[in-house]
Amino acid sequence: MAGSTEPTRVMVAVNESSIKGYPHPSISCRAAFDWMLSKLVRSNAGGFHLLFLHVQVPDEDGFDDMDSIYASPEDFQRMKQRDKTRGLHLLEYFVNQCHQMEIKCEAWIKQGDPKEVICSEVKRVQPDLLVVGSRGLGPFQRVFVGTVSEFCVKHADCPVITIKRKAGEAPQDPVDD
Amino acid sequence: MAGSTEPTRVMVAVNESSIKGYPHPSISCRAAFDWMLSKLVRSNAGGFHLLFLHVQVPDEDGFDDMDSIYASPEDFQRMKQRDKTRGLHLLEYFVNQCHQMEIKCEAWIKQGDPKEVICSEVKRVQPDLLVVGSRGLGPFQRVFVGTVSEFCVKHADCPVITIKRKAGEAPQDPVDD
């Protein structure tokens, strides 16, 4: 209230859906984004500044290319170009939504291990809050897939809010998102 | 944004400071409250409805009475009365603050194990968000004291935000709060 003239800077970690098709936001990161708008930002668009971080996992994003043959440096270049395009397409979704609602935002892409990169970007950018979606997996599933959200809650240098995907929104294989 | 006519219901778990003196809010729950006001509620007082839950641990609150002699049922009655008074005094602090800022709120006291009671109250009251302060103890200290915030992040049925006490606000013994 008093003295809060600077907008609250919220970093939102976003990723692509693991379900095939053209890159869409994952179910859990879209749920986290929608929750944040309706429950925190509400009608106070000017009070918040959103920072969208998309971390691309080089291996995972190249998975479709398993059977491809790389014969020249240009092939790698093309692959990198394609990754970049997919990442930009993902960020565009969020930036467009913010633009429509007149919420100030920034968005950028990094490469690496999402949990490590998110925490190091928090250190660098120093947001007031980090919002991360979560698939809400059970303990058994978590053993095998690890969860970015748990790591961030423990290690990020700012308050973290984890939004669980609703049970009804989970795809057939709950590890998908 | 769209369709958010109902205020966002935020449950805030509050407890007494463990440092001697008349009951004050703990350093970490006051930090969590202040953070929430300045970073989430901001100027949008009408958009939020705060729910203050204070869980009293019967043993811990009776610690000062270790050397007392209880000779009649009235002695216990008096002790209970005193606990209630301390709890009300604590809640009064938060309710007064909200009143000054014209934020709607409710406050109540429960008895039991804080982490269990907070999670069962979340189930019953169904807030949009739970805010918990944390002493931000290191892994070594955590082994001995356990942390309410970690338990709630894992088990509460709603999004949870944990606000760590700032290093500069920690008392001499970091387990104190």
B95 touching chain A per CB within 8 A? no
CA-to-CA distance for B162 and B149, rounded, in angstroms? 6
Q: Find the residue in B nearest to A162 (Cα).
A: B159
Comparing CA positions, the residue from B129, B38, B136 lying closest to residue A128 is B38
pLDDT at B61 over 60: no
Enumerate the residues of chain B whose CB falls inside 8 A of the CB of residue A159.
Answer: 35, 161-164
CA-to-CA distance for A133 and A145, rounded, in angstroms? 15
CA-to-CA distance for A174 and A27, rounded, in angstroms? 11
Largest pairwise CA distance in chain B: 62
Higher pLDDT, B27 or B173: B27
Tokens 């008074």 — which residue? Answer: B85
Tell me what pLDDT residue A53 has: 96
**Beta-carbon contacts of residue B66 (< 8 Å; ≥ 6 apart):** none
Facing A47 at nearest CB: one of B35, B44, B159: B44
Tell me what pLDDT residue A142 has: 55
Mean pLDDT computed over every residue of chain B? 84
Sign of the Cα pseudo-torsion (B87, B7, A101, A97, in order): positive
CB of B159 within 8 A of CB of B131? no
Question: A159–B163: do the CB atoms touch at under 8 Å?
Answer: yes
B40 touching chain A per CB within 8 A? yes
Enumerate the residues of chain A whose CB falls inside 8 A of the CB of residue B41.
Answer: 1
CB of A47 within 8 A of CB of A104? no
Tell me what pLDDT residue A68 has: 64
Q: Find the residue in A nearest to B134 (Cα).
A: A159
Tell me what pLDDT residue B129 has: 97
Encode pLDDT of B3-47 as tens digits.
Answer: 458 999 999 999 888 876 667 898 889 999 999 999 999 999 999
Is the pTM for the entire model greater than 0.90?
Answer: no
Q: Give the residue from B161, B164, B165, B166 with the most A CB atoms within 10 Å of its CB, the best one to mutate.
A: B161
Tell me what pLDDT residue B22 has: 66
Full set of structural domains in chain A with CATH: 8-58+72-169 (3.40.50.620)
Q: Is the ipTM of this complex over 0.90?
A: no
**Could you tell me the pLDDT band of residue B151, with boundaries at 50, 70 and 90?**
confident
A13 touching chain B per CB within 8 A? no
CB of B133 within 8 A of CB of B32? yes
Tell me what pLDDT residue A161 has: 92
The side-by-side arrangement of strands in the sheet containing B8-14 is A104-111, A48-56, A8-14, A129-134, A160-164, B160-164, B129-134, B8-14, B48-56, B104-111
Question: B1–A128: do the CB atoms touch at under 8 Å?
Answer: no
Determine the 3-state secondary structure of A29 from DSSP.
Answer: helix
Q: A160-164 and A129-134: which strand pairing?
A: parallel
- Which residues does residue A133 pair with via DSSP β-bridges, in sequence order? A163
Enumerate the residues of chain A whose CB falls inside 8 A of the CB of residue B44.
Answer: 42-44, 47
Distance from CA of A175 to the nearest CA of B (A): 18
Facing A159 at nearest CB: one of B1, B35, B101: B35
Tokens of B17: 């400071």
Tokens of A79: 């692959």
Burial class of residue B170 in the structure, from the number of CB atoms within 10 Å of its CB (0-12 exposed, 13-18 middle, 19+ buried): middle
Encode pLDDT of B84-107 as tens digits.
Answer: 888 898 999 999 999 999 999 999
- pLDDT per 10-residue tile (average), chain A, 177 residues: 76 86 82 95 96 83 57 78 85 94 95 94 97 76 67 90 80 75
Facing B162 at nearest CB: one of A39, A128, A159: A159
A99 touching chain B per CB within 8 A? no
B159 touching chain A per CB within 8 A? yes
Enumerate the residues of chain A whose CB falls inside 8 A of the CB of residue B45.
Answer: 1
Tell me what pLDDT residue A147 has: 79
CA-to-CA distance for A147 and A130, rounded, in angstroms? 15
Question: A129–B162: do the CB atoms touch at under 8 Å?
Answer: no
pLDDT at B49 over 60: yes
Determine the 3-state secondary structure of B20 from DSSP.
Answer: coil
Enumerate the residues of chain A whose CB falls inside 8 A of the CB of residue B161.
Answer: 129, 159-161
Tokens of B111: 């008895």
Tell me what pLDDT residue A58 has: 73
Encode pLDDT of B105-136 as tens digits.
Answer: 999 999 999 999 999 999 999 999 999 988 77
